[in-house]
Structure 1
């Protein structure tokens, strides 16, 4: 899949998250309306946040897909991380809303009305969310879209909420202890807070130009080592990831008498090899003449790379 197709796929998935979130919200609020359960109300409140998050993700993914311009020569890819941060914050807000509703209910608990109908409606909403969360997370990883992946994790936290709520309601009805309804809502809220923190942490890490994972960096090193014939060595390899794009930067040492054309051909070969491993990678190679010291590092290609 080329870059254009990846962008279209991400935008398509982000768009369809909006109507699906609205449908799920309607189902969950309907389940609360027929039962009066505070746990189901809490679940519905989280779905309101899901609708807002889906709209934000769609807008940001569209902005991130814009081509580079004079003001943003490296592209707009990092915009997706801002969306993911917002998603994480909204997850935390949803958890706090659940606690806000559950604490008063603990003081005056009551068993829900029409529990079977309410549980059935909420179960349907949970199944829809579970399927869509899997689609978004797997697609987000494949397309390297932090916004899609964050949206998927957000919906997955909603699924966890629904499972906890259903379990709590069944237990409350079976035992007659109405306090289990709001108590389970609070326990689920704690898990949602943890999920929100993980989403925020991953997104901030991306904004801080974290290097690519070790296995991906090793693949880049192997591609360089296998295709750097004619050079004397490479060093100072640096990588970073901005949304779906990988940035690779390193220094290459060549004989001081080598013509510019030959050095350029080696660079072309290296760029092609790296893009086989990471299609669409942005690569910068600094060519150095033999004998020049750069950070005191000089490593031959056959010996590996030292970053």
Structure 2
């Protein structure tokens, strides 16, 4: 899976360079500040793809003495860096658009520019679909961030092309810088989303209630003669998901039987989340908790 993620990140970098070249050509041909904003966003895509490739490579390195839990959190740094790049690009776009807003300029060679930009957008649309597919398959936050960024770029590009077409039809050239400012606002929002998700990962944010619910059902169905499960904790670290909990067993249960239950629980959870790392702490009967513990209803059934 790691090789698949690495190859996908490399493909994203290659396609990003092609798309950037096409969009910069469209901007140079027309002089449109909206197309300039679109091209600048593609520059971010290239930088983000490079950072994602490096982050995925680092995260694929095996655990060592200094990093006993592995290097998977490196992927979150790529999303943070991409968020910073997004903010810088948005500010640059607003600065350029503001000057053009005060002094609108008629655009030239619009037809050729639109066709070139449309070709670039089609390449981006195919890339975004593939990135999101592989990110779901490999559970890579870096590829997901890259895919969502590219998808946002596609949506932005379509809006820009429609707006430039309207500006050409109406001869109201102020639409060009106005579109660029809208693009910048959209980029800022996207940057915030990326940073928010990556910070959550760096802060060991747990799985959402929707993602935890199936885990509870799996534990309920596989805990067999164990008495209770409590202190369930989850966290994400790049493509890995860590799950840990306490399993209370009867005092007369042998170590072998308790170990078999743990193996069954771990296997079932890993089938649901292939990249899961499960840690189970077995406790004697007197460790049963009665104060509204998560999954305490198991003890009552």
2:100 is equivalent to residue 105 of structure 1:
yes
User: Structure 2 vs 1, CA of residues 155 and 58 (structure 1 numbering), >3 Å: closer, same or farther?
Assistant: same
Query: For 2:230 and 2:16, how far apart are their aligned partners in 1?
Result: 49
**Aligned mate of 1:301, from 294, 298, 301:** 298
Which residue pairs with 1:242 in the alignment? 237
* Unaligned ranges ≥5, structure 2: none
In structure 2, what is the Cα distance between the partners aligned to 1:7 and 1:228?
A: 32
Counterpart secondary structure, 2:178: helix
Q: Would you say the 8 A contact 1:232–1:254 is kept in 2?
A: yes
Aligned-partner Cα distance in 1 for 2:210–2:103: 54
RMSD of the alignment, in Å?
Answer: 1.8
- Displacement of 1:167: 1.8
Question: Secondary structure of 1:248's match?
Answer: strand
Q: Does 1:91 align with 2:82?
A: no
Cα distance in 1 for residues equivalent to 2:73 and 2:208: 18
Whole-Å Cα distance in 1 between the matches of residues 244 and 227 of structure 2?
Answer: 17
Q: How many residues align?
A: 299
Q: Does 1:156 align with 2:147?
A: no
Which residue of structure 2 lines up, in the alignment, with residue 292 of structure 1? Answer: 287
The 8 Å contact of residues 251 and 284 in structure 2, kept in 1 or not, is answered as: yes
Residues 20-48 of structure 1, C-alpha deviations (whole Å, 9 max, x = no match): 11111110111112112222122212222
Aligned mates of 2:235, 2:32 — CA distance in 1: 47
Q: How does 1:1-307 map to 2 (within 5 A)?
A: 6-292=1-287, 299=296, 301=298, 303=300
SS in 1 for 2:229: strand
Contact 2:37 2:183 in 1 (8 A): no
SS in 2 for 1:235: strand
Alpha-carbon distance between aligned partners in 2 of 1:90 and 1:117, rounded to the nearest angstrom: 29
* Deviates further, 29-38 or 293-302: 293-302
Closer, same or farther: CA 127–63 of 1 in aligned 2, 3 Å: same
Q: Quick one: distance in 2 between partners of 1:130 and 1:300?
A: 47
Alpha-carbon deviations, 1:124-148, whole Å to 9, x = none? Answer: 1111112211221232123211100
Greater mean alpha carbon deviation, residues 39-48 or residues 51-60: 39-48
Which runs of no fewer than 5 residues in structure 1 stay unpaired? 1-5
The residue number in structure 2 matching 1:3 is: none
Structure 1 residues 277 and 233: CA distance shift in structure 2, 3 A: same
